[in-house]
Amino acid sequence: MKNFSTSHTLFSRNLSLNLDGRIMDLSTPCIMGIINATPDSFYSGSRLPDPATAVETAREMIDQGAHILDVGAVSSRPGAEEVSEQEEMERLSPVLEALRNEFPEIPISVDTWRSGVSRRVRESFGINMINDISAGQLDPEMFATVAELGIPYIMMHMQGTPAYMQEAPDYANVVDDLLQFFSERVHKLRKLGVNDIVIDPGFGFGKTLEQNYRLVRELHAFQMFELPLMAGLSRKSMIYKTLESDPDHALTGTTAAHMAVLIQGANLLRVHDVQAAAETVKIFQKIVDSPVRGV
């Protein structure tokens, strides 16, 4: 299993996750492949509600270098309508069952903000991680549930809800405000005994174009928490709007943004295009690992 090792010279307790007894070392950046069991995600290429198609795509992602699969069943694009918990489970269950049967060893994260869904997918499919776009704000039971389940938790910052988050994002200082937000949320999780926490600043979730790029530029500030940092930039509007393009033509811009966040300290990239991300990480590692001579 790639990146499950404690022998790497850069291994750090603070940059690792315990996935059911297996240690994932994030001191070398890892890649999370996106599997959307939805009919309406903003990027059409990630819509994989059919289990057989999801398995085929997951196999390709794993072969290309994905370390984790992130399965979601509710679109969080700006203006997205809410889906009931029952419908979310009906979308998730066949895809998770197929992935578990085909790839029993690959770590699986589920992208949900619901504690009830988190509990059910853990009990039914043994998923290894929860990825919550609301950092526990949309479901007050989420933190206690994650603590009880004893699995790693990705908490993302989002101002507002997906339906309204892009109407009028407002911050006194976007970096300072998010640092305060995560300080409070990490403290609450620690009190509940949750130690495996990943921080995601939530690019595109209740931020203007300028605020998103400031977060890219100052992502290193979030290293103060000594926790892994995840960046979800793949084909988002902050990229394709800058390029005056669309999601289908945003891969080159995504790759450029991925290199920028890696330089600023990102440990986990959540992506649609695994091969391009894996190649970006490889080049990044070559840069940082190359010995300095003749200086």
SS3 readout for the chain: CCCCCCCCCCCCHHHEEEECCEEEECCCCEEEEEEECCCCCCCHHHECCCHHHHHHHHHHHHHHCCCEEEEECCCCCCCCCCCCHHHHHHHHHHHHHHHHHHCCCCCEEEECCCHHHHHHHHHHHCCCEEEECCCCCCCCCHHHHHHHHCCCEEEECCCCCCCCCCCCCCCCCHHHHHHHHHHHHHHHHHHCCCCCEEEECCCCCCCCHHHHHHHHHCHHHHHHHCCCEEECCCCCHHHHCCCCCCHHHCHHHHHHHHHHHHHCCCCEEEECCHHHHHHHHHHHHHHHHCCCCCC
Q: Classify residue 5: in a domain, yes or no.
A: no
Residues 71, 147, 28, CA angle at the centre, nearest 5°?
55
| Predicted local confidence at residue 9, as pLDDT | 41
CATH number at residue 231: 3.20.20.20
| Domain membership flag for residue 3 | no
* pLDDT of amino acid 13: 53
Are the beta carbons of 154 and 146 closer than 8 angstroms?
Answer: no
Tokens 């969080």, residue located: 76
- 236 and 213 Cβ atoms separated by less than 8 Å: no
Q: What total number of domains does the chain contain?
A: 1
Residue 232, domain extent: 13-287
- Identify whether 292 is part of a domain: no
Token code pair at residue 200: 């995601």
The answer to whether residue 144 is domain-embedded is: yes
Give me the pLDDT at residue 5, please: 44
At 164 the pLDDT is 59
What gap in Å lies between CA 39 and CA 48, rounded to an integer? 8
Task: Assess if residue 79 is contained within a domain.
Answer: yes
Q: Which of 114, 122, 185, 236 is catalytic?
A: 236
Contacts of 173 (CB under 8 A, 6+ apart): none
* pTM: predicted TM-score of the whole model, two decimal places: 0.90
Predicted confidence at residue 170, as pLDDT, reads 83
Contacts of 276 (CB under 8 A, 6+ apart): 251, 254, 255, 258
Q: Confirm whether 227 is domain-assigned.
A: yes
How many alpha carbons fall within 13 Å on the CB side of residue 122? 22
Residue 43 is predicted with a pLDDT of 47
With respect to residue 246, please indicate whether it lies within any of the assigned structural domains.
Answer: yes
User: Is 236 one of the catalytic residues?
Assistant: yes
Predicted pLDDT of residue 39:
72
pLDDT at position 37 is: 87
Residue 293 domain flag: no
Query: Using CA atoms, how far apart are residues 146 and 105, in angstroms rounded to an integer?
Result: 21
CB half-sphere exposure, 137, CA atoms < 13 A: 16
Rounded to an integer, what distance in angstroms lies between the CA atom of residue 25 and that of residue 236? Answer: 27
From first to last of its 295 residues, the chain has per-residue pLDDT tens of: 445 444 444 444 579 999 999 999 999 999 999 999 887 555 455 455 689 999 999 999 999 999 999 999 988 766 667 789 999 999 999 999 999 999 999 999 999 999 999 999 999 999 999 999 999 999 999 999 999 999 999 999 998 666 555 666 789 999 999 999 999 999 999 999 999 999 999 999 999 999 999 999 999 999 999 999 999 999 999 999 999 999 999 999 999 999 999 999 999 999 999 999 999 999 999 999 877 665 5
Distance from C-alpha of 223 to C-alpha of 182, rounded to nearest angstrom? 11
Q: Which of 270, 282, 286, 293 is an active site residue?
A: 270
Identify the residue whose tokens are 């300290």.
265
What pLDDT, on a 0 to 100 scale, did the predictor assign at position 148? 98
Contact 74, 37 (CB under 8 A): no
Q: Closest Cα to residue 220, out of 191, 199, 251?
A: 199
Say whether 241 is catalytic.
Answer: no
Nearest alpha carbon to residue 181 among 162, 206, 148, 164: 206
